[in-house]
Amino acid sequence: MTPAAALDSLLRALGTPGDRIPEDLEGRTGLWRSKLDGRRMLLLCDNAVDAAQIRPLLPASPGCLVLITSRGRLLDLDGVEWVSIGMMEPEDSTSLMTETLGTTRVGAEPEASAELAELCGHLPLALRIATARLRNRPRWTVRYLVERLRDETRRMDELSSGERSVAATLRLSYLAMDEEYRTAFRILSLYPCAGTDVHSAAALLGTAVRDAEDALEFLLDVHLVQQPDIGLYTFHDLVRSFAQSLRGPATAADDAAAVERLLGYYLTTSNAACEMLFPGRERRPTGIPPYQGERPYFRNADQAVSWFDREQAGLLAAVSLAERCGHDRYAACLSRNVGFHLHAHGQLDEFWSVGHLAVAAARRLDDPALLGISLANLGAACWKLGRFEEGLEVATEARDTAVRAGDRHTEAHSESTIGLLMSMLGRYEEALPLLERAVAMARELGNPRAEAESLTILSTLYERWGRYPEAAAAARQALDVGHDPVNEIMALTDLAFAHVGLGEEADAHESLKRARDLCDETRSPGDVALVFALSAQVAEQRGDGSQARAFAERALVLGRTSGAPIRLAKVVNVLGQLHMTWGNTRRRWPCTPMPTRSRRR
């Protein structure tokens, strides 16, 4: 409705004859305001388009109240008290459902009713439609409608009844936007996770970050996206479903290009983060051109870790998106980068899952080099989770694939992993030559990080075998060769185990003190837990019982948060022996499968 038409209706409602109503907007505005002079009146302007539509209707004198509802924030109206209407609270949703369906029906299926409210996004219109359908279909259970609503492809159809429809209501907001914002709205819904930031939005839209932020802020103003935190934007589930329903054959090419830009952004940025966090990691060509758009730059490791932590859900979702869209090279290469982060933070089930996904993608590509490295990483995940037989099979295939591809780095890594897994299975005599060969190959290839890693595994093998002098020698070699903090911590820990086996508590104490000084509890917590567990044992042997107990408690806390069952098993075995010394035989421990280290390619 134009302001002039609105004023015509308002003046007539106050009893003004038609022939006394001016033709022009200014005349109608003046007459309207004079009519309100001295009156106390409530004026409701529902579903306002913009401020220009509202200004001529505003009273000039005090004593009147104007209530305005609008899909967008009318930011250029002065003197306004804003009330943003969001989702209902769960208890209000329950009350609304009870009002429509009755207490008995809602109370009979409390869990299904709660899920129905969740699927409706706690939006009154959606809940009204859903409960009206249930009321008119008495044989339907709440659970039955919930199962229908779980299918995102038909959710909008389910939330439609007669002339009322969630999609129709959202379409009004959509059609009120300019074409550029309609396009941005549709493309941004392709983001595969809950929240997007301005960089990933810019990648999807193919624009500068500032332009992407402007689009997101506009969509925020018209309530088509939400902002749970500064710089983070999310779609309500129903709004996302509506936006995705706008896609079709006509948008397929643009949508595919947007997805590939997003995957390119994540691959390039995660590569940069890995280079900052894992400087000894082998650089591998991906065969994918670097992303040319704006992206975060990391000045230090803390910034890279923060980016990985903030973007982890989006990265995992992007890996799955790449697989679904047939971008196998992106899926495999991005999985490798994400796997480094997951491994370092003890999220081993996720590490194992992306490892399987990467292997499947590399098989479809028929790329032996990529398959070999993907298998090598999966083998490391299997080992960390105690899946020794599966890991042995995977690592053996990784080695054989690497040999066929002429990839000696992956061959050496896989040989080391096979030796590690065999030692975990007690096959020490078979494991020893494999580990010795892995050390020699890494040295020949000029890869000190891999050489140090294999030497620490060799030291652990000797220690488990009771060959403490050889264990100490291998650990010292690892310290001389490698300067990666994770490998250095483990080499010092292995050296301390060897010292304990040789009865050299003072030397063990010094090695563990050096290890603790290097530890960062936020990264590789399982490795840090073992350092503290052995520190507790050595402190007790040196007669410092209070320090031993403090170390023991810290080790248990870290071990439980590490996500690595074989690391936790080693930690609680050490602590269990210590509690036996203290006479505490009733202490209950977490029950899990034995020792670990940093193995990723």
- pLDDT at residue 366 is higher than 80: yes
Tell me how many domains the chain contains: 4
Concatenate the DSSP letters of all residues of 98-125 into one string: HHHH-HHHHHHSHHHHHHHHHHTTT-HH
Q: Give the mean model confidence (pLDDT) for residues 21-50.
A: 93
102 shares a domain with 47: no
Q: Which of 247, 265, 281 is the endpoint of a domain?
A: 247
97 shares a domain with 16: no
- Distance (Å) of CA 111 to CA 115, 299, 423, 579: 6, 48, 49, 45
Is the residue at 404 inside a domain?
Answer: no
Q: What is the pLDDT of residues 555-588, one digit of tens each?
A: 988 888 876 788 888 888 888 888 888 887 766 6
How far is CA 158 from its chain centroid? Answer: 30
Higher pLDDT, 595 or 480: 480
To the nearest whole number, what is the mean pLDDT of the chain?
Answer: 91
Q: What is the pLDDT of residues 384-431, one digit of tens each?
A: 888 999 999 999 999 999 999 999 999 999 999 999 999 999 999 999
Domain CATH number, residue 197: 1.10.10.10
230 shares a domain with 94: no
Is the residue at 80 inside a domain?
Answer: no
How far is residue 494's CA from residue 509's CA, in Å, rounded to a whole number?
A: 12
pLDDT value for 597 = 41
| Residue range(s) defining the domain that contains residue 131 | 90-147
588 shares a domain with 537: yes
How far is CA 459 from its chain centroid? Answer: 36
584 shares a domain with 505: yes
**Tokens 């992007």 sit at which residue?**
318
- pLDDT at residue 25 is higher than 90: yes
503 shares a domain with 582: yes
Position 234 confidence tier, pLDDT thresholds 50, 70, 90? very high
pLDDT value for 210 = 96
Q: What is the pLDDT of residues 291-318, one digit of tens each?
A: 999 999 999 999 999 999 999 999 999 9
Please give the share of the chain, as a percent, with pLDDT higher than 70. Answer: 97
Is the residue at 371 inside a domain?
Answer: no
Is the residue at 530 inside a domain?
Answer: yes
Residue 93 has phi, psi (to 5 degrees) of -60, -40
pLDDT value for 598 = 42
133 shares a domain with 10: no
pLDDT value for 279 = 82
How far is CA 485 from its chain centroid? Answer: 26
Position 592 confidence tier, pLDDT thresholds 50, 70, 90? very low
Specify the range with the lowest mean pLDDT, choosing from 22-36, 281-295, 442-456, 520-534.
520-534
pLDDT value for 331 = 97
Q: Which of 247, 273, 297 is the endpoint of a domain?
A: 247
188 shares a domain with 57: no
Is the residue at 257 inside a domain?
Answer: no
pLDDT value for 570 = 87
Is the residue at 582 inside a domain?
Answer: yes
95 shares a domain with 64: no
Q: Residue 449: which residues within 8 A CB-CB, separation 6 or more?
A: 280, 281, 482, 484, 487
183 shares a domain with 46: no
How far is residue 360's CA from residue 354's CA, in Å, rounded to a whole number?
A: 10
Q: What is the pLDDT of residues 55-74, one digit of tens each?
A: 999 998 888 999 999 888 88
Is the residue at 507 inside a domain?
Answer: yes
**DSSP code, position 387:** -
Higher pLDDT, 596 or 123: 123
592 shares a domain with 458: yes
174 shares a domain with 140: no
Q: What is the pLDDT of residues 508-534, one digit of tens each?
A: 999 999 999 988 876 778 889 999 999
Beta carbons of 475 and 459 less than 8 angstroms apart = yes
Q: What is the pLDDT of residues 185-217, one digit of tens each?
A: 999 999 998 889 999 999 999 999 999 999 999
Position 82 confidence tier, pLDDT thresholds 50, 70, 90? confident
Tokens of residue 62, six digits: 């005090």
